Structure 1
Amino acid sequence: MHDIKHSSHAGLDTAAIRDAAKNLDDGAVTVGYQADRKEIIDMLNGALATELVCVLRYKRHYYTANGLQNGPIKAEFLQHAAEEQAHADLLAERIVQLNGSPDFNPATLVERSHAEYDDSGNIQSMIKANLIAERIAIEAYRQMIERIGDKDPTTKHMLIGIMAMEEEHADDMRDLLA
């Protein structure tokens, strides 16, 4: 007879797995977590600031772009604002899962953001500013993904998904610029 408590399933040490799960204060973070949590949380807070600035930039562009011919562009700005907000939500949720505190402080938002805020007055400048910001976000996410490597698969997977959408946004802005 096998001792159920110490049996191994497909080579896994069930007893060690159960023992590692006992510190309930750590929530989703187990002893097997390989990454530097503080570093990951700091990176995610930088990305959070960037997404929040992007939401504000897209919203401003949506509300200030004028001209009947710009209706489809305004709609694109509004859709992107909503998608950037969804990214911010994912980032904030992951920061909390890692036992961190998401930084929504508006006083330091722009200085913590990778991308800049833009208050351009004409539609071409708005589109260009958004394309630059998307390219900044793509490169920032690429570097974060590279830095994380295989140490935090959940965060890496989330960032890959966000980066893919940022690439779509960049394509959209490039198409509008043409």
Structure 2
Amino acid sequence: MNTPVISKRPAATSGELVLDETGLDAARKSLADGAITPAYGPHRDAIVKLLNDALATELVCVLRYKRHYFMASGLSSPAIADEFLVHANEESGHADRIARRIVQLGGEPDFSPGTLQQRSHADYDESNDLKTMVRVNLVAERIAVETYRQMIALIGDKDPTTRRMLEDVLADEEEHADELKDWLEK
């Protein structure tokens, strides 16, 4: 079997944009690593840890929203409860995306119930008052917004795929916070 030969480019002149041939050569090796090339360097493990903490946060948010969905009562409760369920399902989707990315990075998603709350940035809540539920969820969404904003800044150009995923999740969290703020003002 013949291995294809890829020609090398001449050295770059000042100001020219060219690819790093050393990086491309490294990408030809360690095929078992899939999409993870050596350029991920030492940041991959740190990114996986950040993602596992974000996963814990999303899972705690799913549980909190689900509880609030089932426990909401009062005149305004049907519409707000429906919104809690929508948010629970969207948070579950975020958790799935994060878990999938952890696996793509060669890590293992941590779904351990025993450490979920301590790894989560947001709190679980068992309140029964509808206004308190909305307020608690707004606080959690604001924490998520700040957490994802900081993660995006930390990751920067170290992992553009994870950064873009987190930017998408951040946009959803900002939308959730705006919706909850509107409910709080009613």
Structure 1 position 6, deviation (Å): 1.2
| 1:54-133 pair list within 5 angstroms | 54-133=61-140
Q: What is the RMSD of the two structures over their aligned residues, measured on CA atoms?
A: 1.9
User: For 1:28, which of 12, 35, 44 is the aligned residue?
Assistant: 35
Identity %: 55
What's 1:45 paired with? 52
Distance 1:13 1:109, change over 3 A: closer
The two structures have a TM-score, normalised by structure 1, of 0.91
Give the CA deviation at 1:163.
0.6
The secondary structure found in structure 2 opposite 1:156 is: helix
Assess, with a 3 A threshold, how the Cα gap between structure 1 residues 157 and 131 changes in structure 2: closer, same or farther: same
Which letter does structure 1 place at the counterpart of 2:88?
A
TM-aligned CA deviation for residue 137 of structure 1: 0.6
The count of residues paired between Structure 1 and Structure 2 equals 175
2:23/2:39 contact within 8 Å kept: no
Q: Which residue of structure 2 aligns with residue 5 of structure 1?
A: 6
Structure 2 CA distance for aligned equivalents of residues 16 and 145 of structure 1: 24
How much does 1:88 deviate?
A: 0.3
Structure 1 stretches of at least 4 aligned residues deviating more than 4 Å after TM superposition: 13-16
Deviation per CA, 1:104-149: give whole Å up to 9, x if none. Answer: 0001100110000001111000000000000001111111111111
For structure 1, the 5+ residue unaligned runs are none
Give the structure with the higher percent helix. 1
Give TM-score scaled by structure 2 length: 0.87
- Deviation for aligned residue 1:18: 5.5
